[in-house]
C-alpha cells in the first residue's frame, strides 16, 4: 500500500494539544496514545483538517503527561516552535 495508510502506520505515538490564550497558562494535552490510539488521533486530526507535526522526541515527552495537563515549562520552547509553524500555515 502507499500514500495515506503508509504514512499513518508510521506514527505509533501521538499527542494532541489545545491552547486557549484567554483561559490557559500553557497548551494542554487533549488526547494522547500509542499504537491504535495514536492512529485514531492522527486519523481524526486529518479528517478535521488539523495540522500534524512529526516530532518523536516531543511526542515521547508529551505522552508522559495526562489528558488535561498543561505542558511543563521545559517543553514551552519546543511546543512554541511547532505552534509558530502551524499558525504560519493557516
Residue ranges and CATH numbers for the domains of the chain are: 4-89 (3.40.1690.10)
Among 86, 67, 64, 60, CA closest to 16: 67
Which three cell numbers, joined as nine digits, stand for 73? 515549562
Inform me whether the pLDDT recorded for 89 exceeds 70.
no
Among 47, 40, 50, CA closest to 14: 40
Question: What are 55-86's pLDDT values in tens digits?
Answer: 989 999 999 999 999 999 999 999 999 888 88
Output the pTM of the full model.
Answer: 0.78
Which residues, in sequence order, are bridge partners of residue 14? 33
Rounded to whole angstroms, the Cα distance separating 70 from 66 reads 9
Amino acid at each position: 500500500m502507499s500514500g495515506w495508510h503508509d504514512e499513518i502506520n508510521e506514527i505509533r505515538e501521538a499527542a494532541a494539544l489545545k491552547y486557549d490564550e484567554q483561559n490557559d497558562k500553557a497548551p494542554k494535552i487533549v488526547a494522547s496514545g500509542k499504537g491504535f490510539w495514536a492512529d485514531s488521533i492522527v486519523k481524526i486530526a486529518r479528517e478535521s483538517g488539523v495540522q500534524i507535526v512529526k516530532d518523536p522526541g516531543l511526542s515521547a515527552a508529551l505522552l508522559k503527561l495526562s489528558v488535561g495537563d498543561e505542558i511543563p515549562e521545559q517543553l514551552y520552547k519546543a511546543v512554541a516552535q511547532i505552534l509558530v509553524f502551524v499558525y504560519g500555515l493557516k
